[in-house]
Amino acid sequence: MAMIEITKQDYDEVEVKMRKCIDNLQENLNSIRAGRANPHVLDKIMVEYYGAPSQLNAVANIQVPEARMITLTPWDPSMLKEIERAIQSSDLGINPTNDGKMIRLVFPMLTEERRKELVKQVKVYGEETKVVIRNVRRDYIDKMRSANKRKELTEDSLKEYEEKIQKITDKFIGEVDSVADKKDKELMEI
């Protein structure tokens, strides 16, 4: 039976999957509003456009004219009401103002209580991301343990692989903490 050789490509594959976890976390954190106007808070809001759910940036021009305001100007003026409804039914917590041509979203200062709720949400996203990263680690280590049981991988190679995968995992877990801490600071900033 042929022995498998663990290559740099095997480690790169693990890193790519873990990087996707970090990217997903970043996307989730961008959708949390921090008292300042950030167009990314609208990324997950979908609006019905000619029978198909579409992202807001596909149906309207989104601008940030002031630090605490976002304006949405639909490409098709008949979409104003639909966009307004989508924003109202989202968990954004901002009431849109419709002047017949555009929608304005004015971001109020966050209350201390709301900031704490958002920090808790950041922690939840961070923990969920860590679980996914650990699952990636487990899947790859299990794959190599199976190869070891089939006598396709030596004990030494398995041990070395597990140690390197753990180092990669630790690096990404640290990155999750760093990204979450940065968002916490942004949220608690007045």
pLDDT truncated to tens, each residue of the chain (190 aa)?
A: 567 778 889 899 999 999 999 999 998 888 776 667 778 888 888 888 888 888 888 889 999 888 888 899 999 888 898 888 888 888 777 888 899 889 998 887 878 888 888 899 999 999 999 999 999 999 999 999 998 999 998 999 999 999 999 999 999 999 999 999 999 988 887 5
Q: Report DSSP state, residue 109.
A: P
Q: What is the CA radius of gyration of the chain?
A: 23
CB 105 within 8 A of CB 87: yes
Fold of 39-106: Gyrase A; domain 2 (3.30.1360)
In terms of pTM, does the model score above 0.75? Answer: no
Q: What CATH number matches the domain at 8-30+111-188, 3.30.70.1880, 1.10.132.20, 3.30.70.940, 3.30.70.360?
A: 1.10.132.20
DSSP letter string over 139-156? HHHHHHHHHHHTTSS-HH
